[in-house]
Amino acid sequence: MKTEKVDLKNFSPSELESFIASFGKERYRSIQLLRWLHKIGVHHFDEMTNLSKGFRQELNQICFISSLSPLQIEKSKDGTQKFLFQLEDGNRIESVLIPEKKRLTLCLSTQAGCAMGCRFCLTGKMGLKRNLTTAEILNQVLAVKKTLSDKASVTNIVLMGMGEPLANYANTLKAIELMTHPDAFKFSSRRVTLSTVGLIPELESLAKEKTRFRLAISLNASDEETRSRLMPINRRHPLKKLLELCRRFPLPPRARITFEYVLLEGENDSPKDAKRLLTLLKQIPSKINLIPLNEAPGIPYQKPSEERVRQFQEILMEGGLTAIVRASKGAEISAACGQLQGKTTD
């Protein structure tokens, strides 16, 4: 009976150590493998020159090293790049590389499609195809890194591309553990952000995790009725319960929860909404990212005027909240927030 080969990139550091121990090998061999797989990003066991030839042959018989290559790369005038990847089963996902003055941020997908159905997001219209494996999440990072010049490097990771990260809990957390591991990707935990619509049971589990990263919650409304209309998940995980959890969520010293708020003309952008938001976020260490809607065919809303956005921001800031208006990046190539669809452009 043929044994199916295992993808080494799906192992967490502790799982990889146990796997290597089953060969009768020393613990430090798993550290060597972590470095080859994630820090260096090799594609073949033959490239692992500090492992014996016999061990490499053993690994090759029962393991493989997966990888992704971009099917298409689009670049916008502002320098944003969108990467389209085709997975082994034919599903497609997208990642976005966003250049800013002092950082280069990579936005990753955690699912092919999304089941959340937010009405201002094109990804939600796809429905959920499936969860990505840990390897498929990490391979987006490795594939994008290979396209960069020697002088450029990814500085920040945001898990807010296609999919709801906490709906793919185990694989997402394992990927973050490897992203922040000193012998793997070695990103600072302060430079990795997980964005969620607010799945309460998963957030409660997250509060007990040892893996550290920044937390962002997609809020988008200041009352239950509006949020339920915009984000159907609110009917299962109401705003009130979500914010109660946020108030007691354990944060490292000086850390804050980021609340993302997509501004939709006439829906959630009134001065009344802003004032209600101030009340809602009391006693939560937080900041707010205001995101004027990225309009697209199929999204039944419009972007508010700049004056309306500025007025909303000023009310929040006068009330003592840090409120940042996020400039849209990559909209012309459908790479902006809420526009990822995993389609090939003609």
Strand 6-7 with 63-64, pairing:
parallel
On the 0-12 / 13-18 / 19+ scale of CB atoms within 10 A, 240 is exposed
Catalytic option among 17, 94, 177, 202: 94
Give exposure, 69-89, as e/b (b: 16+ Cβ within 10 Å): ebeeebebebebbbbbbbbee
Task: Please pick, among 107, 121, 246, 337, the residue that the annotation labels catalytic.
Answer: 337
Q: Is 118 designated active site?
A: no
| Sign, Cα dihedral of 274, 280, 281, 283 | positive
| Residues paired with residue 105 on neighbouring β-strands, in sequence order | 98, 156
- Smallest Cα–Cα separation from 160: which of 113, 198, 195? 195
Catalytic (active site) residue 337? yes
Identify the helix (H) or strand (E) that includes residue 338: none
Q: Which residues contact 171 (CB under 8 A, 6 or more apart)?
A: 110, 131, 132, 133, 134, 137
Sign of CA dihedral 208, 111, 294, 156: positive
Place of tokens 């964005």: 195
Can you give 302-328 as a three-state secondary structure string?
Answer: CCCCHHHHHHHHHHHHHCCCEEEECCC
* Cα→Cα distances 161→151, 164, 196, Å: 25, 8, 11
Q: CA 82, CA 76: separation in Å to the nearest integer?
A: 8
For 108, the enclosing helix (H) or strand (E) is: none
Active site residues: 94, 337
